[in-house]
Amino acid sequence: MLLNLSEEQEFFRETTDRFLTEQVPPDVLRQLRHDPAGFDPAYWRRGAELGWTSLLVSEERGGGTISDSGLADASLVAYEFGRHAAPGPLAVVNVVAATLGELNAAPDVLAGLLSGESIATWCAPPFGSTRWEPTVDVRRDGADLVLNGEARIVESAGQAEHLLVTCNDEAGVTQVLVPATAPGVTTTQMETVDLTRRFGIVTFGDVRVPAAAAVGPAGDARAQVHRQFELLIVLLNAESVGAMQAAFDMTVEWAFDRYSFGRPLASYQALKHRFADMYMWLQSSNATSDASCAAVAASDPGAAELVSAAKAYIGQYGAELVQDCTQMHGGIGVTFEHDLHLFLRRVTVNRALAGTPADHCQRIAAFVDAREGAAA
């Protein structure tokens, strides 16, 4: 990241770095490949004690920040998660915690998230190029809400105790907090290239919950969902930039250590040009990630466009950077024993979540068209 960190933020980042280095080195990540959850619950609880899940929640609700921007603090953790290819549903748990805290909802559930004792995830609608629409419907039946539909690509769906479900109803968009064990909830595991992250399809078949399970105003959650997407994308971007940084540093070190015809690989002009391109992509990704984070934290009117610009750029050039790093390593770069693929997997999955680069480029074009139409 390019942010000028305070002493407290730098200490927080270094503490997270040390913890992840000790707890989830690459060998442990490989061992977690076949773990159903992809992470150790004790590891997650210890991370929550460090503040991973509290940064987007106010002190009044049990949270707290390191600086005057909880989102910037959370992005520091996300960056280190990417730099270590660390396991755990960091982004979605923070999004759910932020929503419950902001809307003063489900205090018992929020307390479990902040302590790390429980996991909650977001059954988000598909993020399209110009709009999103929920794929789960909710209707009122007396004192209950009844959910039907299917949510796809739900992170840690099989490990979450609670599901924040974005639904269509007669009045608009409503969000409902559903226990994962509620009758009618079915989770199907999906395949993913990331070694430690788990995704699932969650099906709701006449799932009945009390009307009090609605989070926020019924039928009026569209603005809140936009906010949730912005938080999610900021954290995913920071994580991807951390993975890019790790891959780049690893490749620079390799190019200076590896000799060909009596010279280090880094001394060859063709590779210097490629490193220059990668360094430009990396710095630009840092800058766009930081700018969008600051805009979302400040509720800037241009935040949505900045978030899409960052997601499009990082999604495109993050993948190119790590692919170039893989090529520069030669044959060893495509082996399972080498660590490089851990970061390639992380960047690849993040590229596809919450809108692809193409989706966000179309969204930016829509913003430009709207401005030109307003100026005409």
Residues 6+ apart with CB under 8 A from 324: 251, 274, 277, 278
* Average pLDDT across the chain, whole number: 95
**The pLDDT of residue 376 is above 70:** no
- Name the superfamily (CATH) of residues 222-375: Butyryl-CoA Dehydrogenase, subunit A, domain 3 (1.20.140.10)
Q: Where are the beta strands (DSSP E) in 37-119?
A: none
Mean local confidence (pLDDT), 297-325: 96
Q: What CATH number should be reported for the domain whose range is 122-215?
A: 2.40.110.10
According to the model, what pLDDT value does residue 129 have? Answer: 67
- Mean pLDDT over 237-241 rounds to 98
Residue type, 214: A
CA distances from 165 to 123, 176, 252, 297 (A): 5, 5, 44, 24
The pLDDT > 90 percentage for the chain reads 87
**Confidence at residue 113, expressed as pLDDT on a 0 to 100 scale:** 98
Output the pLDDT for position 94: 98
DSSP 251-297: HHHHHHH-EETTEEGGGSHHHHHHHHHHHHHHHHHHHHHHHHHHHHH
The span from the CA of 227 to the CA of 132, in Å, is 13
**Each residue of 109-126: pLDDT tens digit?**
999 999 999 999 999 999
pLDDT of 373 over the 90 cut: no
What is the reported pLDDT for 236? 98
Band of pLDDT at residue 308, cut at 50, 70 and 90:
very high
Angle at alpha carbon of residue 82, lines to 75 and 187, rounded to 5°: 95
Position 12 pLDDT exceeds 70:
yes
Contact 367, 312 (CB under 8 A): no
Please give the CATH number for the structural domain made up of 7-119.
1.10.540.10
pLDDT digit string, tens, across residues 246-278: 999 999 999 888 777 778 877 888 889 999 999
pLDDT at 263: 81
Q: Write down the pLDDT at residue 79.
A: 98
pLDDT of the residue at 260: 77
Tokens of 286: 């840092």
pLDDT in tens, 67-120: 999 999 999 999 999 999 999 999 999 999 999 999 999 999 999 999 999 999
pLDDT, residue 2, reads 62
Domain assignments of the chain as residue spans, ordered by start: 7-119, 122-215, 222-375
Residue closest to 243 by CA, chosen among 191, 317, 154: 317
Q: Specify whether the CB–CB gap between 285 and 313 falls below 8 A.
A: yes
Mean pLDDT on 325-349: 94
Determine the average pLDDT of the residues in 152-178: 96
Q: Report the pLDDT value the prediction gives residue 259, as an integer from 0 to 100.
A: 76
